[in-house]
Each structure stands twice: as structure tokens, then as C-alpha cells.
Amino acid sequence: MKRSEINLLLEDAKRFFTQHQLHLPPWALWTPSDWQTKGPECDEIVENMLGWDITDFGSGDFEKRGLLLFTLRNGNPARDRKLYAEKIMIVRENQETPMHFHWQKAEDIINRGGGNLVIELHNATEDEDLADTPVQVQVDGVERHLQPGGKVILTPGESICLTQRLYHRFYGEPGSGKILVGEVSLVNDDNCDNRFHEKVGRFPEIEEDAEPKHLLVSDYARFVAL
């Protein structure tokens, strides 16, 4: 992805969050220059990978296959006792997050507003392929049974609980608009706890054609010296 594209997506995200009265912590707006004035008091942000996260999953086409996230809170077993995480995401119409599951993380995915979120589900086989068995999930505490690859469509206010080793992919329902999606989960580790069904890239390779307006979590190692 180009840095100029990332900068535009961040500006669009800030407008969308404001539209839905979603307020970010002050450090969400720090520039790289602001980060240069910070010290060890900000270790948790960096080490727990809090903040902006944009990916095209290596597709080269963010609009078709991509996701914008902001991690608001996250634990790190190596440094604290926090056992939970929270993210806010923007999903566009027909913009896919590819089929994947988590070995350790269980999560609730919540439609916080905007359009409708489509989630396709598969159980995993022992060798981590897509199973042909029926899927059982909880949607706002109500049990549902689906055929393999079955869909759940979350309208604003609805949520689904995705347990460990449950394959899922999601995208915005065509014609319904962008979606503000929340995630509440156990501790999140995007370096080690994503099992994609096909080989994809979790963090983007960035072409630095412009100066970054805000840092992504994948930028911290390069730009932040704490």
C-alpha cells in the first residue's frame, strides 16, 4: 500500500468515527513528530500494539480485500494482567476480511452502526481445513445452527460470539453502506494468533510516497524509540 493511500484512509476513518460519535484517545491523533517527544510512559501503547492498523492482506486492492482497525485496549501476558482487548473497525461494502480463525482468542463481533455485516462460518477440521459439519454460534445470546459456510447478517446493534478455531470471513452487505464494527475479545496477538485458510499478509508492505500523518501499529518499530 502507498503511504498516501493510508493517510487518506485515516482521514476518512476519523470523519466516519466522528459521524458515529466514536471518540478516540488523544494519542490517536499524535503525529510522528509527537511520538519523538514521548518516553517509557507510552510503552503499553507500543508493546501491546494499540492504535491504527490498516491492511490489504497482501492483495494490493484495499477496497476489495482489506480492513481498517483501531485497537483501543489490549493485554500482553509478558507485561500486565489485562486479559481482554477491544477494537473498532470500518468495513466497506463487499470489502472482504479473508477466512481465518484464532487458536487462542475468542471474540464478540458487534455491529455498532451503519450498514449490515455479513459473516460466513465454517468449523475447522483437526488439520485446520474447512469442515463440512454444521456450525453452532451464539448471536446476542441466542443459539443458531448453520450449514457449513452459512451466513449470519448482523444489523446495527447485533453481535456474534466467535470461539477459538471457528473459521470466519466477513464483508459489508452490498447497498447497505460502511459499517462501524466493534470487537471485544480475549488478549489479541496479530503476530501469532491468526490462522488464515489461504496464505495472506497480515500487515502491509508500505511504499513511502508521502510522510505518515499518524503511525500504524506496524510502524512503531521503525519510528518510535522508547
Query: What was the pLDDT predicted at 77?
Result: 87
Cβ atoms within 10 Å of 28's Cβ, excluding its own: 18
Please report which confidence band the pLDDT of residue 78 belongs to, taking 50, 70 and 90 as the band edges.
confident
Query: What was the pLDDT predicted at 64?
Result: 97
Task: Judge contact between 146 and 135, C-beta under 8 A.
Answer: yes
- For residue 50, the 8-state DSSP code is -
Task: Judge contact between 46 and 220, C-beta under 8 A.
Answer: yes
pTM (2 d.p.) = 0.96
Please report which confidence band the pLDDT of residue 225 belongs to, taking 50, 70 and 90 as the band edges.
confident
Query: What was the pLDDT predicted at 212?
Result: 97
Half-sphere exposure of 145 (CA within 13 A, CB side): 2
* Distant-in-sequence, close-in-space partners of 116: CB < 8 Å, separation ≥ 6: 153, 154, 155, 156, 172, 173, 176, 179
Domains in the chain with CATH codes: 3-223 (2.60.120.10)
Res 226 pLDDT > 80: no
* Cα first-last separation, the chain: 26
**What percent of the chain stands above pLDDT 70?**
100
d(CA 144, CA 135): 8
Cβ atoms within 10 Å of 216's Cβ, excluding its own: 22
Query: What was the pLDDT predicted at 127?
Result: 98
Distances (CA, A) of 60 to 7, 8, 52, 75: 16, 16, 19, 31
Q: CA angle, corner 80, sides to 83 and 222, nearest 5?
A: 105
